[in-house]
Chains A and B, each alone.
Chain A
Amino acid sequence: MSTAHQGGDLEVRSLVRIFGTGDGAVRAVDDVSFRAPAGRLTGFVGGNGAGKTSTMRMMMGVLAPTSGETLFEGRPITAADRRAFGYMPEERGLYPKQPVLDQLVYLGRLRGVPAPAARAEILGHLERLGLADRAKDHVEKLSLGNQQRVQIIAALMGSPRALILDEPFSGLDPAAVDGMADLLREHTARGVPVLFSSHQLDLVERLCERLVILRRGEVVADGTPAELATRGTVRHRLVLSGDAGWVRSVPGVRAIDVDGPVALLEMSDDGAGRRLLHSALERGDVREFCPVRPSLTEIYREVAA
């Protein structure tokens, strides 16, 4: 595809944000570095207070970093770059007493899209999200889910060069999540980087091509879901013909759980595995011996606990 690399990478380097001063100072974002590559959907995961929102606000220039920088296309980001970004803040809202179409046109014009072009594009988006007949309604009359659709249109219009979305999926039903995911993929297909934060890990695992996990202001994991899975501690499952209680005494083997003939084990080295299998075959049949890959949820619990 010729348009595959229309956008550039979005990157943060050593981003730090300290709130407060003196003894009460909190390092909300502590030396955070990662990359949201062009044309990829990058998930930003972390518990409450992990620093996701502060990081995204600093990337969008609405929060001043204590130190560190944001790069776009390999150079320090400018106000003009940000103007061409689509941004969805957390705890967001809209003008409650203004019609849907009017306020989207307003936000589009502020981003530099001329009114007629903005209007045409917004009507297309509203049509697609099933809101075409609500264009003239006041926002306050819309359900929360529909308000969220309007907010996502505000971020997506005008062919943004990057998307930074804080919890875009929260509060959406599964069908709406799929619809929005399709929309986001259209933008990654154009070659722009899309960074979004979420609490819903299964969703992030299903949608994302890259993942950044934040804990207490620090990046604790960064990579593709497959990379992260191999990085997690690999365990082995052993199923014997007889009771497996004896595995506890094999040197270099740690039994996580033993239940009759089934054991879940962690091995400190390859030699431990050989010793274990040798002993097992001396005692009877080995029905199953395989590595257990951790799910993203388990990795997340492990790194972000």
Chain B
Amino acid sequence: MMPGTNDSPAWLIVMQREIVARVMNKAYLFGLLVTVLLIAGIAGFFAWQSQQVDTYDVAVTAGDDAAATAVEQAAAELGEDGGELTVREVANADAARAALEDETADVWLSSGPDGWTLAGWREPDGSLTRLLTPVVERVTVTERAEALGTSFDELAAGGDLVTERLDGGAVDPGVVQFASFALAFLFFMSAIGSGQMIAASVVEEKQSRLVEIIASAVPLRDVLAGKVLGNSVIALAQNLLFATVGVVGLALTDFKAAVPAMTASLGWFVVFFTVGFVAVAAMYAMAGALASRLEDLQGTTAPMGVVLMAVYLTTFGADGTLERVLSFVPVTSIVSMPVRVLSGDAGWWEPVVALVLLAAFAAGVVLVSERAYRRALLQTGGRVGWRQALRAG
């Protein structure tokens, strides 16, 4: 029991407490669960939507063979994408109108000497119209081609338009856009959420004067190190969890082709976020030290909120040169570089350079924050100004 026969270094003891206290915090666990469910829910929604089968009942009047053929061809085409088109034969035009009115048919397709008509009780469904337009055209052309002794295929030969992508990227631009939104949002929520928790834990110790007991036992530098590392470990674990749920969810959707690229991008994001979070954590710890009561926190953490919000707003919409610049600037690089990796736009060295810049920035922020944290933490009575805390060590 002799003091001085220590079992672990102080920073490790502090780090352990931070992690244990957080894992035992019911409010935190609830928030975590809500976020996981939210991510799973979004993935689930896309998966459900991609499996959704549209069914249409198309009325065709008896004897209108051209229309019946067109619907059959359209149904065959739709079958590949998983849709359903059913022909509902009606006696005449009046019966077709009646079918539309009582909703036994969605649309009525009819051919005539003056052209084709797709009628609905209301405006016919847009995607059905887009589906039927080329089919109707083809049926018409086929009929005339046969009359002229040739065939549709002969006439149409060489008229196909094939799309081709030259940058070699395998990822749909829509996926990249969605990913940039998702990563920016994930960054913003995690940084603000975890940051506020650190600030609250610092001010809790300051307000209760526990910090005086702690400061008389171990150097405050070790306390800050333990807090920053403990919270960074939590943030890392949390983001790995979110990323895993996100990737598993993605694999269940139409975007499953993007999973390998997305996994690489998320891997970079997790690495960038973890390094960047060290800086965010140190700044929030400083903000906590500046407050003297929990009520002051809103004021002292406001500057960080503004910075993180700015990162969020600039990164999720950025592209072109702006995105390239942001992908190297510390803090915004956490979001922009992984997005560029995903779009296949970044060379292998680019994330490495951005990561080194981010690490250097984080180290600088930690040094400055550590000084302010020590200065402000033991000051009692009222809020301490940012400038006052940063001025002299």
A contacts, CB < 8 Å to B: 57, 60-63, 79-80, 82-85, 87-98, 102, 106-107, 109-115, 117, 121, 154-155, 158-161
- Segment at the A interface, from B84-92, B215-223, B277-285, B329-337: B215-223
A85 to B215, CA, bound (A): 12
- Segment at the A interface, from B6-14, B49-57, B302-310, B351-359: B6-14
Known: A83-B3, A106-B13; 9 extra A-B contacts, CB below 8 A, are A62-B212, A79-B219, A91-B209, A94-B208, A107-B214, A107-B217, A109-B6, A110-B214, A158-B3
Residue pair A62, B13 in contact (C-beta under 8 Å): no
A240 to chain B, nearest CB (A): 57
Residue pair A95, B21 in contact (C-beta under 8 Å): yes
B256 at interface (Cβ–Cβ under 8 A)?
no
A79 to B3, CA, bound (A): 13
A106 to B215, CA, bound (A): 14
Residue pair A111, B378 in contact (C-beta under 8 Å): no
Identify A87's interface contact among B3, B207, B216, CB under 8 A: B216
Residue pair A83, B217 in contact (C-beta under 8 Å): yes
Interface SS, A side: loop
Residue pair B213, A107 in contact (C-beta under 8 Å): yes
* Chain B residues with CB under 8 A of A111: 3, 217
Please give me the residue from chain A that is nearest to B223 by CB atom: A110
* Chain B residues with CB under 8 A of A57: 212
B25 at interface (Cβ–Cβ under 8 A)?
yes
B4 at interface (Cβ–Cβ under 8 A)?
yes
B203 to chain A, nearest CB (A): 12
B1 at interface (Cβ–Cβ under 8 A)?
yes
Residue pair A93, B207 in contact (C-beta under 8 Å): yes
B210 at interface (Cβ–Cβ under 8 A)?
yes
* Chain B residues with CB under 8 A of A95: 21, 204-205, 208, 210
What are 16 A-B pairs with beta-carbon distances under 8 A? A61-B215, A61-B216, A62-B378, A82-B216, A92-B209, A92-B210, A94-B210, A98-B21, A98-B24, A109-B7, A109-B8, A110-B214, A111-B217, A112-B4, A112-B6, A159-B1
A97 to B197, CA, bound (A): 14
B contacts, CB < 8 Å to A: 1-8, 10, 13-14, 17, 20-21, 24-25, 204-205, 207-210, 212-219, 378
B212 to chain A, nearest CB (A): 4
Residue pair B209, A97 in contact (C-beta under 8 Å): no
* Chain B residues with CB under 8 A of A97: 21, 24-25
A92 to B7, CA, bound (A): 27
Known: A62-B378, A63-B378. A110 touches B210 (CB 8 A): no
Known: A62-B216, A63-B378, A83-B217. A93 touches B3 (CB 8 A): no
A125 to chain B, nearest CB (A): 13
Residue pair B212, A89 in contact (C-beta under 8 Å): yes
Q: Report the tally of A-B residue pairs with Cβ distances under 8 A.
A: 93
Known: A95-B208, A106-B13, A109-B8. A87 touches B25 (CB 8 A): no
Please give me the residue from chain A that is nearest to B201 by CB atom: A95
A79 to B215, CA, bound (A): 10
* Chain A residues with CB under 8 A of B204: 95-96
Please give me the residue from chain B that is nearest to A59 by CB atom: B216
Known: A91-B209, A106-B13, A106-B17. A112 touches B215 (CB 8 A): no
A82 to chain B, nearest CB (A): 5
* Chain A residues with CB under 8 A of B17: 106
Residue pair B216, A85 in contact (C-beta under 8 Å): yes
Known: A106-B13, A110-B10. A62 touches B215 (CB 8 A): yes
B234 to chain A, nearest CB (A): 16
Residue pair A87, B213 in contact (C-beta under 8 Å): yes
Residue pair B213, A158 in contact (C-beta under 8 Å): no
A155 to B24, CA, bound (A): 26
Residue pair B2, A93 in contact (C-beta under 8 Å): no
B12 to chain A, nearest CB (A): 10
Residue pair B13, A83 in contact (C-beta under 8 Å): no
A114 to B13, CA, bound (A): 11
Please give me the residue from chain A that is nearest to B205 by CB atom: A95
B4 to chain A, nearest CB (A): 5
A93 to B211, CA, bound (A): 10
A84 to B218, CA, bound (A): 11
Interface-centre pick from A89, A91, A93 (highest chain B CB count, 10 A): A89
Top 3 A-B residue pairs of the complex, sorted by shortest distance between their CB atoms: A93-B208, A89-B209, A84-B3
* Chain A residues with CB under 8 A of B378: 62-63
Please give me the residue from chain B that is nearest to A87 by CB atom: B216
* Chain B residues with CB under 8 A of A85: 216
* Chain B residues with CB under 8 A of A79: 219
Please give me the residue from chain B that is nearest to A164 by CB atom: B216
